[in-house]
Each structure stands twice: as C-alpha cells, then as structure tokens.
C-alpha cells in the first residue's frame, strides 16, 4: 500500500493535513514529535539555510545531505523532498535523482510545473510523485497570485486533473484564489495542500523559517507563530555581554 494513501483517508474524513518544510535533524525531531503529517525538505533550503540567492542554485548533493539529516530525526512522519531544479531537465536525470533521494529516506518527491510524462514515469517507481502548481518558484520569478481569471483557473483545474490521472499522489497549490483551490480540492481524490490558497485545501504547508520567525522578511502568505530571530538575537547579545564583562554563567 502507498504510504500516501493515509492522506486520502484524512481528506475523506475532512481532517486537515499538516505539512512543514524542514532542513535539519533537530527541527525534524520537533516536527515529528508534534505530529506533523508531512515533513518536507523544500528547495527553499537553498535560500533559507545555505545562503544562495535563488532556490534553483541548489545541487542534488546538497539536498541529499539535508534529506539524510532530516530522515534521522523522523520516526513516523511522511518524508517529502523537492526535486532540485538542476536535476529536473530530462527524464533519466529526474528518475536517477528520485532514486538517490529514495535511498536517502524520502517517501515522495515534489516536481514543480505541468509535466504529466514525469508523473507517469515516477508513478512506476518506488518514489511517490507530488505535484506543485499555481505559483511555482522554480519556474516563475516573482511571487504573484496565479489563476486569477476564469480561463487560467479553468486551465489550472484541468492540469490538476491530468496530473492526478498521470499518477500524482498529492498536489501543492501555491498562491491561487481560495475559490479555485476549493474547486480543485472538490474535483480531485488526491489531497491538495495549500500555501496562500485559502482554507478550502485539504491541508496546509508553511515554510519552517517563516513559521518560527527565523527570517526577518515576512511574505504575505507566511504564517508566523513565533519570533525566533528576536529570541536568538537577545540570547547571543546576552552571551556576548557576559563574556565581555567576564561574568559567571
Ligand atoms: O521549497 C519550498 O519551501 C516550497 C514551499 C513553499 C511549498 O516549495
């Protein structure tokens, strides 16, 4: 049985599916212990952790290194990883990257954009393919709402249906109107996981650094529930003060 079939059950029961990006072992342990359903090594690893200007600069070896660290921190959650842009040019490269990520511990890989042939090929392997439509950071430069008019909304719904038919086990919908996301969720059997797509998706995903407030910039669709940047800064400042004054700890 597919590991992702559990998410279809949650969808049928109307129970929201929780997903968070994750890039390291300690954060994976926290997320796993808190019951996050899908722990996702997104290619935002490149900008949030490795200091690149763009996620498309991420190399497969770098993704694999972090996937292995996250895998070590998980005992129950589903582990999903982004297929890096640099490994997504053609089918043999994609299949080889997906297999390497599987060996590192992933249950599924996420592929951005409308590429049914990739889903058909991946569906025959042991790695479960997840789709990502709407705003796709690997393919569209600036974050902006997608599928705003009825023609592009119609096209998005059709593409989601086609990717489900091609073997996608779930679909991430980023920055699309709630009404369109609701239509997609209704028409598909596989779960839809939204970010900036309203609450009618079957689940939600957020970027870990946004959620805990490690980033100083805040995207419009980011949910911030903590201010880790402020807390870390004051801890480091306090430490520095104590060391300078030769105070005891
Ligand atoms: O890499 C990432 O963080 C993502 C999420 C925004 C879904 O793809």
List, for residues 138-175, the tens digit of each pLDDT value: 999 899 999 999 999 999 999 999 999 999 999 999 99
Measure 218 CA to ligand 1 centroid, in angstroms: 15
- Tell me what percent of the chain is helix, strand and coil, each rounded to the nearest 5: 45, 15, 40
Q: Which domains does the chain have, with CATH numbers?
A: 7-244 (3.20.20.60)
Measure 103 CA to ligand 1 centroid, in angstroms: 22
Mutate which of 19, 23, 27, 40 for ligand 1 pocket (most atoms within 8 A of beta carbon): 40
Average pLDDT over residues 8-24: 98
Q: Which atom of ligand 1 is nearest to 43's Cα? A: 1
Across all residues in the chain, what is the average pLDDT? 96
Structure tokens at 119: 């889903």
Residue 176 confidence (pLDDT) above 90:
yes
Q: If you take atom 2 of ligand 1, which residue's CA is the nearest one?
A: 42
| pLDDT band, residue 217 (cuts 50/70/90) | confident
Average pLDDT over residues 18-28: 98
Residue 18 confidence (pLDDT) above 80:
yes
| pLDDT band, residue 220 (cuts 50/70/90) | confident
Measure 60 CA to ligand 1 centroid, in angstroms: 16
Measure 170 CA to ligand 1 centroid, in angstroms: 14
Q: Which atom of ligand 1 is nearest to 137's Cα? A: 8
- Whole-number pLDDT of residue 234: 97
Choice between 2 and 128, residue whose per-residue pLDDT is larger: 128
Structure tokens at 18: 């929780």
- Whole-number pLDDT of residue 218: 74
Mutate which of 22, 27, 31, 43 for ligand 1 pocket (most atoms within 8 A of beta carbon): 43
- Whole-number pLDDT of residue 95: 98
Average pLDDT over residues 213-242: 91
Q: Which atom of ligand 1 is nearest to 21's Cα? A: 3
Q: How many CA atoms lie within 13 A of 93 on its CB side?
A: 11
Decide: residue 224, CB within 10 A, 0-12 exposed, 13-18 middle, 19+ buried. middle
- Whole-number pLDDT of residue 179: 97
Q: Which residues are catalytic?
A: 174
- Whole-number pLDDT of residue 221: 86
Average pLDDT over residues 104-123: 98
Helices 25-33 and 60-72, axial angle in degrees (round to 10): 50
Which residues form ligand 1's pocket by a CB distance below 6 Å? 21, 42-44, 82, 172, 195, 205, 207
List, for residues 34-56, the tens digit of each pLDDT value: 999 999 999 999 999 999 999 99
Tokens 């129950």 -> residue? 76
């Amino acid at each position: 049985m597919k590991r992702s079939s559990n998410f279809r059950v949650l969808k049928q029961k109307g129970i929201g599916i929780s997903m968070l990006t994750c890039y390291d072992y300690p954060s994976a342990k926290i997320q796993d212990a808190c019951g996050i359903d899908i722990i996702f090594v997104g290619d935002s690893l490149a900008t949030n952790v490795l200091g690149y200007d763009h996620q498309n600069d991420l190399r497969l070896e770098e993704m694999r290194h972090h996937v292995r660290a996250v895998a070590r921190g998980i005992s129950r959650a589903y582990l999903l990883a982004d297929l890096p842009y640099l490994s997504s040019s053609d089918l043999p490269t994609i299949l080889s990257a997906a297999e390497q990520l599987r060996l590192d511990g992933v249950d599924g890989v996420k592929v951005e954009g409308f590429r049914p042939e990739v889903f058909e090929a991946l569906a025959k392997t042991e790695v479960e393919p997840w789709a990502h439509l709407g705003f796709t950071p690997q393919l569209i430069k600036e974050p902006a709402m997608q599928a705003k008019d009825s023609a592009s909304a119609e096209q998005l719904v059709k593409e989601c249906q086609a990717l489900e038919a091609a073997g996608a086990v779930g679909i991430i919908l980023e920055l699309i109107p709630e009404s369109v996301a609701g239509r997609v969720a209704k028409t598909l059997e596989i779960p839809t996981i939204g970010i900036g797509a309203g609450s009618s998706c079957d689940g939600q995903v957020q970027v870990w650094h946004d959620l805990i407030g490690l980033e100083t910039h805040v995207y419009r669709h980011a949910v911030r529930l903590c201010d880790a940047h402020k807390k870390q800064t004051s801890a480091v400042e306090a430490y520095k003060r104590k060391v300078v004054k030769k105070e005891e700890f």
